Structure 1
Amino acid sequence: MNATHHLISLGGYLDVDKYRYIYFVVFLTLYLLILCCNLTIICLIWIHRNLHEPMYIFIAFLSVNSILLSTAIYPKLIVDVLSSRQTVSHAACMLQYLIFYSLAGSDFLLLSAMSFDRYVSICRPLHYAATMRSATVGLFLSLVWILPASLVLVATVFTAKQKMCRLVLLGIFCNNSIQKLYCVLPRFLTVWGLFVLTNITLIPVVFIVFTYIKIFIVAYRSCGEIRKKAAETCLPHLMVLIGFSCLCGFDVIIARLESDLSDTVRLIMSLQIVVYNPLFNPIIYGVKMKEIWKHIKRLFFCRRTRV
């Protein structure tokens, strides 16, 4: 079956005809909230000079990733629920797959860069200015986008060339479940997938855990001010990492056990993957990061008081 000439049906929705407008309102509301929350964080960091530090720049780029990811997913969801048939072309599905996993890998690498920044700031404060220069930050930001995109692009191109035996995807967007549509996937793709997973997920997570162990050891042995700094700047990153890792686990579970999961469970897990991280990351950073929260209060609460 030539993949390029067929539409893939999205079979992950529950009673679209019955709940069409509920889906529409929920998806549109979530998308607008994600845009507003992340744009607020980006604009605050852009406007205020005291936030022009590597830590906040990395947070801003996490928000950029959230906007890009949501824009690759939500407009299509909104169009689908208003349509009589929920379908996607093979090319569009592979593009969504590429964007989704490239940005997911980018998030892990951004969190690694943030953990390195916190490590230097807390454990080697005298070397911070020399280490975290503008050139270093620029190099990190280039790598966190180019490396995952390049690795996932190879997998996407080779997957797209395979013969398809099914045209019904048990999901609402194109993720790893698309591999179940192909008749046979070559061993190379399995090996490459493990290579990509190791480089953009496992190694960054191990690196993050290692750096935070070092940070907490130094903080524990230091004065109260260092402990306070570690708690204020590191705990939000850990909360985001734990949440994101759990959601990546959901993605793997959906792909491996899709036939064993009920339609309701599969839909809820799929939605969490594209709701939790893009929506709650800016909220976590906005509330837990002292300097960002200070500017948010000035932006919203002070204006309300004046009015």
Structure 2
Amino acid sequence: MENVSVVRVFTLAGINETVNYRMTIFALTLLYYCVILFFNICLITIIIVDENLHEPMYVLLCNFCINGIYGTTGFYPKFLLDLLTSIPQISYEGCLFQAFIMYSFACSDLSILAVMAYDRYVAICRPLHYRSIMSKRRVTQLVCFSWLTPFCIFSISVILTSRLSLCGSKIQKLFCVNWVIFKLACNESDIVSNNIVSYATIVIYVLHGVFIMWTYMHLVKTSVKSIDDRVRFMQTCVPHLISLTTFLIIIVFDLLYMRFASTKLPQGLQNFIAIEFLIIPPLMNPLIYGFKLTKIRNRIIQLFLNFHLHNIRIYRIY
């Protein structure tokens, strides 16, 4: 029997099925990760540089993209390294740290989406009070809430997990998550406190979902009253709804699969299900917001035209 004093390294068994295609997967993964970084960094840079975009909605969007980089960086570099290793392993401390990143990334996404829903509610339902309610101080407080809430919750969760005695060191996934480490705990381990924190976390983020539903009920009621509100809803709320719907479907499906699904499915399919939230939202979000939000789209077109004209001038000189 192993316990926490002996288990200092975990084996990531989920990667074993890729042994015959590792270099192909490595090249595609590296390319995809670079694309994610490129689009998110581009959107962040545009929002920071253009003073016309220094508004609450775009500040929150900037944080949304930063969170996408944070989450994917917690997975892709380690995964790329594992593809070049014969026996993928991760240290006990590294596993806990990666579990913290994965959970805090996913829950920060939901917190930011909740804050963005509140911003749209105030903008459309209380437009005359928008500037006073969504002041710089209030936006700063909301951004801190969206980051600090999951960080505090999962710091407690990871600390409690680190106290468990473990009776195994094999993780059937591509990366570490708290629930998988929790399942390796010995029967005699004190798991009551972990369960309490887990259920409290579920309650907190279900309340996030309820709050978002409440805001959109009011948004829809208000938007049907005038053409201007309908146009504003379509321009600014539709990207948010697409991001929210995609995120919820992926996360709920992943959680249900992780807790209840059979391990008889092919390992490749299990791996894809496990990393969906690291594949789709981090790339989809900057693309949707970049093309759908008028100010950002116009700024991107302007930058492209300036770059093109600059190249034409250089070509004519030579």
Between the aligned partners of 1:237 and 1:45, the Cα distance in structure 2 is: 17
Q: State percent identity of aligned pairs.
A: 30
Aligned to 2:314: none
- Equivalent residue in structure 2 for 1:283, among 272, 281, 287: 287
- Equivalent residue in structure 2 for 1:113, among 95, 112, 115: 115
Superposed counterparts of 1:19-38, under 5 Å: 19-38=21-40
Between the aligned partners of 1:39 and 1:189, the Cα distance in structure 2 is: 36
Q: Establish whether residue 235 from structure 1 lines up as the match of residue 238 from structure 2.
A: yes
Contact 2:12 2:171 in 1 (8 A): yes
Contact 2:43 2:286 in 1 (8 A): yes
Deviation at 1:191, TM superposition (A): 2.0
Superposed counterparts of 1:23-102, under 5 Å: 23-102=25-104
Superposed counterparts of 1:216-227, under 5 Å: 216-222=220-226, 224-227=227-230
Contact 2:161 2:194 in 1 (8 A): yes
Q: Secondary structure at the match of 1:135?
A: helix
Contact 2:13 2:171 in 1 (8 A): yes
Contact 2:48 2:54 in 1 (8 A): yes
Q: Which amino acid aligns with 1:163?
A: S
Q: Deviations over 1:85-107 (max 9, x none)?
A: 11111110110111111121111
Q: Establish whether residue 255 from structure 1 lines up as the match of residue 274 from structure 2.
A: no
Between the aligned partners of 2:5 and 2:95, the Cα distance in structure 1 is: 11
Query: Please, which runs of 5 or more residues in structure 2 have no aligned partner?
Result: 312-318
Between the aligned partners of 1:33 and 1:58, the Cα distance in structure 2 is: 21
Contact 2:69 2:282 in 1 (8 A): yes
Between the aligned partners of 1:156 and 1:179, the Cα distance in structure 2 is: 10
Q: Establish whether residue 198 from structure 1 lines up as the match of residue 200 from structure 2.
A: no
State the number of aligned residues: 305
Q: Deviations over 1:64-91 (max 9, x none)?
A: 0011111111100000000111111111
Superposed counterparts of 1:151-170, under 5 Å: 151-170=153-172
Contact 1:164 1:181 in 2 (8 A): yes
Q: Deviations over 1:145-195 (max 9, x none)?
A: 111111111111111111111211111011232322222461221121010
Between the aligned partners of 1:258 and 1:180, the Cα distance in structure 2 is: 15
Between the aligned partners of 2:93 and 2:210, the Cα distance in structure 1 is: 34
- Taking structure 1 as the reference length, the TM-score comes to 0.95
Between the aligned partners of 1:298 and 1:128, the Cα distance in structure 2 is: 29
CA distance 1:11–1:221, shift in 2 (3 Å): same
Contact 2:9 2:91 in 1 (8 A): yes
Contact 2:3 2:167 in 1 (8 A): no
Q: Secondary structure at the match of 1:36?
A: helix
CA distance 1:187–1:43, shift in 2 (3 Å): same
Contact 2:36 2:282 in 1 (8 A): yes
Deviation at 1:45, TM superposition (A): 0.3
Contact 1:165 1:182 in 2 (8 A): yes
Work out which of the two has the higher radius of gyration on C-alpha atoms and give 1 or 2: 2
Between the aligned partners of 1:180 and 1:304, the Cα distance in structure 2 is: 56
Deviation at 1:211, TM superposition (A): 0.4
Between the aligned partners of 1:271 and 1:95, the Cα distance in structure 2 is: 17
Between the aligned partners of 1:2 and 1:183, the Cα distance in structure 2 is: 8
Q: Establish whether residue 122 from structure 1 lines up as the match of residue 124 from structure 2.
A: yes
Q: Secondary structure at the match of 1:143?
A: helix
Q: Which amino acid aligns with 1:283?
A: L
Q: Which amino acid aligns with 2:111?
A: L
Deviation at 1:27, TM superposition (A): 1.6
**Over aligned residue pairs, what C-alpha RMSD do you find?**
1.6
Between the aligned partners of 1:232 and 1:35, the Cα distance in structure 2 is: 25
Contact 1:14 1:264 in 2 (8 A): no
Between the aligned partners of 2:146 and 2:31, the Cα distance in structure 1 is: 29
Q: Secondary structure at the match of 2:224?
A: helix
Q: Secondary structure at the match of 1:3?
A: coil
Aligned to 1:104: 106
Q: Secondary structure at the match of 2:186?
A: coil
